[in-house]
Structure 1
Amino acid sequence: MKNRQATTNDYEAILNLWDRSVSATHDFLSLKDKEDIKKEIPMYFPHLDVRLWFVENVLIGFSGTNRQHLEMLFLDPAETGKGYGKQIMQQLIKEFNVRSVDVNKDNENAKMFYLKNGFTIVSEEPTDSSGRQYPILHLELK
């Protein structure tokens, strides 16, 4: 699996992948919140190390890290269940020293994914960082 740092030219592809992934996995989000979040995401990119992840030159996902914290990890829904998420997570831990991540409490699959990859829940917030009514779990690598 290959990765490269994203550029501003990649933002449209990233947002399209994000939209497909969230549509497939975040049924707890209201349509308005999903649209608002999609508009907000590009504001975070300049502050993150955003990586595009490829298998045989096909974009399968992207991640965004800030120091040792994983801010975002999204896979194309057509590529889930193939072990790519685990491969990406292991690279993020080993090569980028990721040690923490936050996840929507209502996103059961993501929560289980991080727990299987060695993270443990250390705390919980009743809202997301924008004050939306989506509880957030804070996880750290064991």
Structure 2
Amino acid sequence: MSIRKRIAADDPQLAALWERSVRATHDFLPEDDISRLFPMVRDAYLPSLDVWVWENPDQTPAGFIATDADTVQMLFIDPAFRGQGIGRQLLDHVARPRLKVDVNEQNPQAHGFYLHYGFEDISRSALDGEGRSFPVIHMRLKDA
């Protein structure tokens, strides 16, 4: 296992991993949202964020984390590798005081994961960033 910085050539694999993970964990998202978001993740979000890749010994990605300043924008683990500590290792890699993350309320597994890691709920929005009725829980890493 290794964690390394994303390179542009990773983007197709990371976008495919994102899609597999979203399909396994975001059952509230309609198919047209996933299809609409896929090229945005691949072509806009990944290149514009600070992305770290958790890589298997065969150099295939098993997960990634993307941050922007003090906020986790994306943390996705390939469903075949969930529950193996990859998410924790990726968070450890980027952890800093007052790190923030937004979690869809309809994704209780992710919310529980972040609570277990040491984040706390700080507020809630009834709508997501695109104004849709997907409530978001705003979280912050507790001070040590």
Same fold (TM > 0.5): yes
Match of 1:32 in 2: 32
Partner residue in 2 for 1:126: 126
Counterpart of 1:45? 46
1:22 aligns to 2:31 (yes or no): no
Report how many aligned residue pairs link the two structures: 140
The CA deviation at 1:98 is 6.8
Question: Does the residue aligned with 1:40 lie in a helix, a strand or coil?
Answer: helix
SS in 1 for 2:83: coil
Greater alpha carbon shift after TM alignment, 69-78 vs 40-49: 40-49
Q: Which runs of 5+ in 1 are unaligned?
A: none
The RMSD of aligned alpha carbons is 1.6
Contact 1:70/1:98 (8 A) holds in 2: no
What is the CA distance between 1:128 and its match in structure 2? Answer: 1.5
Q: Secondary structure at the match of 2:95?
A: helix
Give ranges in structure 2 of 5+ residues lacking alignment: none
Distance 1:98 1:51, change over 3 A: farther
TM-aligned CA deviation for residue 114 of structure 1: 0.2
Aligned to 1:73: 75
Of the structure 1 ranges 13-22 and 82-91, higher mean CA displacement relative to structure 2 is found in 82-91
Rounded Cα–Cα distance in structure 2 between residues aligned with 1:45 and 1:83: 22
* TM-score, L = length of structure 1: 0.90
Q: Deviations over 1:54-89 (max 9, x none)?
A: 132341111110111100000000000112212222
> TM-score, normalised on structure 2?
0.89
Identity over the aligned pairs, expressed in percent? 38
Specify the SS of the correspondent of 2:51. Answer: strand
